[in-house]
A and B are shown apart, each in its own frame.
Chain A
Amino acid sequence: MAGERKFKRREILSRGLSLGIVAGGALILGKPDFLSAKEKSARIPDLVAVKNGEPDAMFKKAIELMGGMEQFVKKGQTVVVKPNIGWPRVPEVGANTNPLLVKTIVESCYAAGARRVYVFDNVVTPTPSNARNCYQLSGIENAARAARAIVVPVDNFSYREVRIPGGKTLKTADVHSLILDCDVFINVPVLKHHSSTHLTIAMKNLMGVVKNRMEYHLTGLDQCIADFCLYRKPDLNVVDAYRVLMSHGPSGPGNPRSADIQMKKTLLMSRDIVAIDAAAAKIFGREPESIGYIKIAHAQKIGNMNLRELKIVTYAM
């Protein structure tokens, strides 16, 4: 049977209705502050998981269950959507974020009133020719442009150094100015196998906004991945687990016919980057504790990997 499993439809409806009344009331009174963080966290689920739909439909359902894009993007704000565009691979290989998902998110941001939406990723081998290949082959450049996003290519000079407060190994990072200057940061990784860290999901995807990535590899990959989240956590994480590359990641084979793909047709959404990585690991078939950076980030209280302690809304289409 399709439908909510943990919440009755009536319950969701009443929650949605009350949220609508609260939001509407707040707008009428001109006091958006009324939607205080305390109030919001009581209503917004910790994690939303949707499955058995197409990437665009699953995202629309998930953001609805999350309380709408308006929770995250306010009128006139600039948004950065950060997919994984790391590899010169076609979408069928599952090495990059699904282009349709990226397009749908950009559209949703504009619909919520965003002034500008940027799409960016620092590709894994950041030479200009490889970056161009990644942006084009992944289908993300065209998909994002079709939704009026500003697609920002890789360069060397747009990075600024920031201090990581409380970073154990990673003390400073050269972060792309788009991330430093934007109002809203939406992290849109793809879930896939990774030869260096077992899995790459949301936390690992943030390596694509820093320039000194090799420092991570040199000084401790798992610790640095966790440390970076102490600087800035994305305002929203959306994990693409539609087409999951089960082996030979992160690049996958050049030929999609050789790709070890499982059609999980799943999408996860959360503000907690550790929780979403833990849930994605479960979907892949691994225990979160077996992934170094998830364990470290949980210990550093960046987020919660104990899914049982979280309020999770699931929906099968």
Chain B
Amino acid sequence: MTLIKTRRILSFAIFILFVLLFAGAEKMSAVLSGILPPLQFVPALLRTLTEPDVVFLAGLAFILLITMLFGRVYCSFLCPLGTLQDLLIAGSKRLGLRPAPSYAKPLNALRYGLLVLTVATALFGSLSLTCLLDPYSLAGRMLTHFLQPLAAHAYNLSILALKPFDLYLHPKQTTFIPLAVLATTGGFVLLVSVLALGHGRLYCNTICPVGTLLGLLSRASVFHLALDPKACLACRRCESACKAACLDPQTATIDMSRCVGCFNCLDACSSGVIRYQQRRRQPDTGRWSPSRRRFLLGGIAVASGFWALNANLREVPGVREAGANPPVTPPGSISAQRFTQTCTACSLCVSVCPTRVLTPTIAAFGISGLLQPKMNYEKSYCDYECDACGRVCPTGAILPIGLAEKKLTQIGEAELLKDICVVYVDDRNCGACGEVCPTHAIHFTEKETILYPEIDHQYCIGCGACQLACPTTPRSIVVHARGIHKKAREYVHPETSAGSGTTTGPDFPF
């Protein structure tokens, strides 16, 4: 099998697994979340930095190793956004839509600038740029925000069609994606598609910080693609086959920092002029290249700029607001600050959340945490018996604390507004909040057969079930975030009063 065929089969298989990870059934996602994200650069790196895990560390080492050995093959084999673009390009080629690409000069200022900016902002505590640009997270959002709801709607429609035949299936809940988030993800779909159809892998070579970073390593990869100028027939078939626009037949060079390792050129060259071989010591090593100088200068400028800005970062309006009134973050995220500094907004937790309480936001966490998800208690509640988000989160933003600890983790605190609660205002039974409270934090005191709700805050974990159940507008019981999560007290059921005894007497009370 040729390299190109191997690449096509492998990358397609991995892409399908990604689709199943984000849009498949719950159990499948749970299994795949332990396999695919460790092989993604940003999650592997973040997990290793924040919450070291041997699988993710191995994944990171593997990515770095294959890049140093073979170049940016990551971009053509493992990256779901890369394969998505390849599929788009292949599709348009088949339809005859795509013009034959030709060599293009690298946009060094842009690509290195974005890389430095992304790294610098991350170092200063904001993952916003990483959230926006990381290809894994971007692909995850595309699948979660568009494909998954589409699949759910299609499934529910097919259920409707079965109803007349007395065949009933449980419907699937569709995720609530705010319009602004949908527009943002849609914008990126458009950007990536337009770039892919017009210029091949331009997103990967100019915008993607992971691509640029791996490109730096690829410059010195052990194996590299080389064009033998003496044997070249100048047919330029390789140039029009190169998706990365990094092959220049005129100078007989292949820019390995931009080459995505698709091996299309090997296949295109009929005369075997292009070879994938071990790098020989290059004569120009150590030369002062202008692009490197610009990169270094730009990097220093941007880093120092951020250094100056950092002191005032918390004063940027969005950030300050989020700090004063942060949204509720999922159990296992420890604190809102830790969450925003670790989450890359891949939306995997959103896609597996069975109650769909996790909703992606635009800037609810301020500009330092764009697109990150929050617990949306106006739409749903956190299921007491579920810890799915922590089990799948690849970056460690939501730690897998286990169900027992999750049940005692106070992510928020309910507040009962007695001035609008119907029981207190009208002296009529309601009790909707207490019915659904899983921790017995809400209890009732009886006065003349009316049951008045009260909250015992030591038991409340802030799951939001009460807020969702409350019938008043605005709600009479609301959950406020706990900036730093706390441990709740475990409710101990009173000894049952000779309860389980069987009442066997033959008498009836009437």
Interfacial residues, chain A to chain B (CB-CB below 8 A): 1-2, 5, 49, 51-52, 88, 116, 124-125, 127-133, 135, 150-155, 157, 194-198, 214-215, 217-218, 220-222, 246-248, 250-251, 253-254, 258-266, 279, 282-283, 285, 290-292, 307, 312, 314, 316
Contacts and interface: CB of A to CB of B under 8 A. Distances in A.
A116 B166 contact: yes
A157 B159 CA distance: 12
B508 A49 contact: yes
A282 B493 CA distance: 25
Contacts of B385: 88, 133, 254
Nearest to B431: A196
B170 to A, nearest CB: 4
Nearest to A197: B429
Contacts of B502: 263, 265
B509 interface: yes
A198 B506 contact: no
Q: A128, A150, A254, A290 — which one has the most chain B CB atoms within 10 A of its CB? A: A128
A246 B497 CA distance: 10
Given A157-B160, A248-B493, A254-B385, 6 more contacts: A125-B381, A127-B356, A153-B171, A251-B436, A263-B500, A307-B510
Contacts of B507: 316
Contacts of A260: 493-494, 496-497, 499
Contact of A198 (B426, B451, B494, B504): B451
Contacts of B384: 254
A153 B435 contact: no
Contacts of A157: 160
A266 B429 CA distance: 28
Interface in B163-206: 166, 168-173
Given A248-B440, A282-B510, A153 B169 contact: yes
A292 B506 contact: no
Given A196-B451, A307-B510, A153 B440 contact: no
A143 B4 CA distance: 55
21 contacts: A125-B381, A125-B436, A129-B354, A129-B355, A133-B385, A155-B159, A195-B443, A197-B451, A214-B469, A217-B471, A221-B428, A222-B428, A246-B497, A247-B494, A250-B435, A251-B438, A260-B494, A263-B501, A279-B510, A291-B449, A316-B507
A196 B510 contact: no
- The 10 A-B residue pairs whose C-beta atoms are closest, nearest first, are A196-B431, A129-B354, A316-B506, A258-B493, A218-B471, A214-B471, A282-B509, A263-B502, A217-B471, A153-B170
- A-side interface mostly: mixed
B267 interface: no
Contacts of B159: 155
B438 A215 contact: no
Interface in B350-369: 354-356
B435 A195 contact: yes
A88 B159 CA distance: 23
Contacts of A130: 355, 383
Contacts of A285: 509
Contact of B431 (A195, A254, A261, A263): A195
A127 B355 contact: yes
Contacts of B171: 128, 153-155
A250 B444 CA distance: 13
B492 to A, nearest CB: 8
B472 interface: yes
Contacts of B355: 127, 129-130
Interface of B: 159-160, 166, 168-173, 354-356, 380-381, 383-385, 422, 426, 428-432, 434-436, 438, 440, 443-444, 449, 451, 465, 468-469, 471-472, 493-494, 496-497, 499-504, 506-510
B141 to A, nearest CB: 22
Contacts of B173: 127-129
Nearest to B174: A128
Contact of B508 (A116, A194, A314): A314
A5 B293 CA distance: 102
Nearest to B468: A125
B170 A128 contact: yes
A191 B171 CA distance: 29
A214 B496 contact: no
Nearest to B473: A218
Contact of B428 (A1, A155, A220, A263): A220
B444 A195 contact: yes
A120 B303 CA distance: 63
Given A88-B385, A127-B356, A196 B506 contact: no
Contacts of B444: 195-196
A251 B471 contact: no
A155 to B, nearest CB: 5
A110 to B, nearest CB: 14
A247 B496 CA distance: 9
Given A2-B506, A264-B503, A290-B449, A196 B356 contact: no
Contact of B429 (A1, A222, A282, A307): A222
Q: A51, A135, A154, A290 — which one has the most chain B CB atoms within 10 A of its CB? A: A51
Contacts of A198: 449, 451
Contacts of B435: 124, 194-196, 250-251
Contacts of A135: 170
A151 B356 contact: no
Contact of B432 (A51, A133, A196): A196
A260 B501 CA distance: 11
Contacts of A150: 166, 168
Given A124-B435, A290-B449, A314-B508, A261 B493 contact: no
A303 to B, nearest CB: 15
Contacts of A264: 503
Given A125-B381, A125-B465, A131-B170, A262 B501 contact: yes
A129 B383 contact: yes
A250 to B, nearest CB: 6
A248 B438 CA distance: 10
Q: A125, A247, A265 — which one has the most chain B CB atoms within 10 A of its CB? A: A125
Nearest to A196: B431
A124 B172 CA distance: 17
A157 B429 CA distance: 29
